[in-house]
Amino acid sequence: MSLEQQVAALVTASNNLTSTVAGKQADIDAKVAAKTAELDAWRQNARNEMTLPFRYSVEVGGDANTYYPVPIWASPYEKCGRLVIFRDYNAAHPSSLGTDHVAGLLLELSIRGSAWSDFWMTRAEYYGFAYHQAVAKVRTDLIGRVVWLRGGGMHYDFLADFDLGQGKLYGGTEGLKPLMQPDSILYPDAAAPYKGGGVKVSPLTTVDPIWSSAISIPSPIANI
C-alpha cells in the first residue's frame, strides 16, 4: 500500500471514529435528557406530596394573657395526617405585647384517628417558639384535638394535608373556632361520652410545663 493510500485509509478511519463518537455523544445526551426529565418529574411529585394543601387563618380574641381552646375535630382516619400551626412573629397581635418580634410559633403534629378511640394518636414532631409564649396546652379527645392558643387578637395559620373543616359543625362544635367561655361543652350534640356535657374545656392562664420549652424529639400528646 502506497503512502497516499495509507494516509487515505487513516483519514477514513479517523472520520469513521469521529462519526461513531458523535453518535455515541448524541445517545448519551438523549439518555441524560431523559434522566433529567425523570428527576424533574420526581421532584415535582415529591413537592406536591410534601405541600400542605389546606390552609386556614384563625384569630383568637379575648385577653392577651389568656390561652383559649381551639377545637380541631377533623381527623385523617385511614392515614397519619400532618398538621402545622404557624405564626409569624410579626403577625397580628395585641399592642400590649409590643410592636414587633412579638410571638413566633411552629408546631408540627402527626395525628391519626380511627373508628376505635384507642387508636387515636397525636404526636408533636417539632415545637419551637420565640419571644412570647403562644401555646399553653394540646390534648387529644375521642373526636379530635384541642389546642390552647394565646388570645388578644393573635393570628395563627393552620396548615394540613387534610380538610380541617373550618366553620363546619360536628356534634354541635364548630371547627377551628376558639371557645371563649369557661366550661365550654365540647360536641354537645354528639353521642356518649360527650352528649349531656361529658367534656368541658376552659381558657387557661398558666402554661402546661411541656409547652414551656422547645420539642425536637417526637413526643406523644396526652388525652383529655
Q: What is the mean pLDDT of the chain?
A: 84
CB 72 within 8 A of CB 162: no
CA terminus-to-terminus distance, the chain: 98
What does pTM read for this prediction?
0.76
Q: Where are the domains of the chain?
A: 1-51, 54-220
pLDDT at 42: 57
Question: What are 147-172's pLDDT values in tens digits?
Answer: 999 999 999 999 999 999 999 998 89
Residue 195 — left, alpha, or beta (φ > 0 → left; ψ -120 to 50 → alpha)?
Answer: beta
Q: How large is the average pLDDT for residues 10-31? A: 67
Place of cell 497516499: 4
pLDDT at 116: 56
pLDDT at 48: 47
pLDDT at 77: 73
pLDDT-derived band at 119 (thresholds 50, 70, 90) equals low
- What cell was used for 199? 367534656
pLDDT at 15: 67
The residue with greater pLDDT, 203 or 48, is: 203
Task: Convert 154-179 into a string of H (helix), E (strand) and C (coil).
Answer: EEEEEEECCCCCECCEECCEEECCCC
Question: What are 180-214's pLDDT values in tens digits?
Answer: 999 999 888 887 766 655 689 999 999 999 999 99
> In whole angstroms, what separates CA 66 from the centre of its chain?
25
Task: Reply yes or no on whether the pLDDT at 135 is more than 90.
Answer: yes
Cα distance between residue 177 and residue 107, in whole Å: 18
Question: What are 50-91's pLDDT values in tens digits?
Answer: 578 899 999 999 999 999 999 998 888 777 889 999 999 999
Q: How large is the average pLDDT for residues 7-19? A: 63
